[in-house]
Amino acid sequence: MVARRALVILLLGASMGCDPSARRATAPTAVVIRDVTLVDVVAGTLRPHMTVVVVGTRITDVGPATGIRAPRGARVIEGSGRFLIPGLWDMHSHSLWSAEAMQSFLPLYVAHGVTGIRDMGGRMSFLAAYRDSLRRGDPPWPRVIAAGEVIDGPEPVQADISIAVPDAASATAAVDSLARGGADFIKVYTMLSREAYDAVLAAASRAGLAVAGHVPADVTPEEAARAGQRSIEHLRDEIEPFCSPRAAEACARLAETFRAERTWQVPTLLVLRNKAFFDDSALARDPRLRRLPAELREEWLAEREAKLRRGSAYAASKRARYADEQWLVGFLARAQVPLLAGTDAGVAFSFPGSSLHDELALLVDAGLTPLEALRAATLAPAEYLAARDSMGAVAPGQVADLVLLRNDPLTRIGATREIEAVLLRGRVLERRDLDLLDPPGAT
Ligand SMILES: [Zn+2]
């Protein structure tokens, strides 16, 4: 509970205290979206002919279009024929690992309606730089909840963004130092020993921080769930041996544990699909590659080339595995295991912002309804972050992070890509503003 309260305060602080646009006397203080169809992700219904009033960074009023009066001087956005959803969250991404990544990635999220991200591993120095930029200016960047460095075993998988901990004492010290530096949660990784993992959980609990990430090889997913790890990423090696179409009973038992313990699963289907279909030549021609720092682009392409050299049996085994992973996501959804949408943006062929829409489509392919997929990026992140009172719905009192769509996303999930405008902490970004953040057809 301590962790939850700390996080809510943090979210409120980020949305109220640090948004300079709310303090700027010349900025319009009120925005009205008139006669729009609300996509009510809580009830799972459409509410046509509604008007939404935003003052400063918050939604202050929502009601039938005929009954709401616009505050004097409000900027009016015509919502007729359009659909309004809460701002989207990418719950697994990597943007805070270099100054260049931070500067190039963060606007791309907002350009595609992603107004919040959970950063699953980077560096505390860039988290500090992010917070500093938000305090000093008003960059069009999403809200970020970040882990800082990942805590891994003595030989970390991702050495450049990890703290290597050989034992329990150094694990405790790592958590304490991340907590002192202002990390929002703790990310654990595969090579941690069991004693170090236990020490991380204990230290994080004392510091009021949630623990999320991979399940160490030494620990079973059931143990991780019972120990209070809040989210498990990528399905991966630790879940999949227990959960396949050939082991549906064991999978049902594990799913029941996840459901009972509220252990969130973040499938990152896009990454798994890219691993299975790395030979798809479309990956190498993706126009979004041009928006990336050159060095990163080259790294992704080289990674793909290396896989191509491994031959067709390798590709076939990855594809069979992906079919199981799709089955698993559908299974978890039917078993009411809580799910979050995440892309792993920053790893090969997972693009900041636009890939969240790819992930939503893949979740629907795996068996979720469009509503369930949309919830995984709106309502579910709010629940996960224990911040339902400030985000995840279009309702009075909520932070004004909103996305105005041309079409109904409950009929066709691809409609989340068709963005007319984004409200970011109450600031209006119309289509032309979004095109400046991610120029269409840019070369
Ligand atoms: Zn990741």
Reading phi first (left if > 0) and then psi (alpha if -120 to 50, else beta), residue 100 is in: alpha
Identify which of 388, 390, 356, 387 has the alpha carbon closest to the alpha carbon of residue 373.
356
Q: How far is the CA of 332 from the centre of ligand 1 (A)?
A: 20
- Check: pTM over 0.85? Answer yes or no: yes
DSSP state of 77: E
Q: Are 324 and 264 in contact (CB under 8 A)?
A: no
The alpha carbon dihedral of 47, 53, 58, 61 has a sign of: negative
CATH (one of 3.20.20.140, 3.90.1010.10, 3.40.50.720, 3.40.50.1000) for 231-249+256-377: 3.20.20.140
Identify which of 288, 285, 228 has the alpha carbon closest to the alpha carbon of residue 260.
228
Q: How far is the CA of 94 from the centre of ligand 1 (A)?
A: 6
Tell me if domain 2-86+392-437 and domain 231-249+256-377 are identical in fold. Answer: no
Q: How far is the CA of 208 from the centre of ligand 1 (A)?
A: 23
Residue 61: how many other CB atoms lie within 10 Å: 17
What was the pLDDT predicted at 23? 46
pLDDT by 10s per residue, the chain, length 443: 334 444 433 443 344 334 444 444 455 589 999 999 999 999 999 999 999 999 999 999 999 999 898 899 999 999 999 999 999 999 999 999 999 999 999 999 999 999 999 999 999 999 999 999 999 998 999 999 999 999 999 999 999 999 999 999 999 999 999 999 999 999 999 999 999 999 999 999 999 999 999 999 999 999 999 999 999 999 987 788 888 888 889 999 999 999 999 999 999 999 999 999 999 999 999 999 999 999 999 999 999 999 999 999 999 999 999 999 999 999 999 999 999 999 999 999 999 999 999 999 999 999 999 999 999 999 999 999 999 999 999 999 999 999 999 999 999 999 999 999 999 999 999 999 999 999 987 54
What was the pLDDT predicted at 15? 40
Torsion of CA 415, 418, 421, 423, to 10 degrees: 50
Q: Measured between alpha carbons, how far is 377 from 109 in angstroms, rounded to an integer?
A: 13
Q: How far is the CA of 233 from the centre of ligand 1 (A)?
A: 8
Q: How far is the CA of 328 from the centre of ligand 1 (A)?
A: 19
Q: How far is the CA of 93 from the centre of ligand 1 (A)?
A: 6
Tell which CATH architecture fits domain 2-86+392-437.
Answer: Roll (2.30)
Q: How far is the CA of 151 from the centre of ligand 1 (A)?
A: 13
Tell me how far the alpha carbon of residue 278 is from its chain's centroid: 23
Q: How far is the CA of 350 from the centre of ligand 1 (A)?
A: 10
Q: How far is the CA of 252 from the centre of ligand 1 (A)?
A: 26
- What is the residue whose two structure tokens read 């595969």? 190
Q: How far is the CA of 249 from the centre of ligand 1 (A)?
A: 29
Write down the domain spans for the chain.
2-86+392-437, 231-249+256-377
Q: How far is the CA of 379 from the centre of ligand 1 (A)?
A: 21
Q: How far is the CA of 341 from the centre of ligand 1 (A)?
A: 12
Q: How far is the CA of 185 from the centre of ligand 1 (A)?
A: 14
Tokens standing for residue 136: 């000093």
Q: How far is the CA of 247 from the centre of ligand 1 (A)?
A: 27
Phi, psi (rounded to 5 degrees) for 137? -140, -160
Q: How far is the CA of 92 from the centre of ligand 1 (A)?
A: 6
Q: How far is the CA of 119 from the centre of ligand 1 (A)?
A: 8
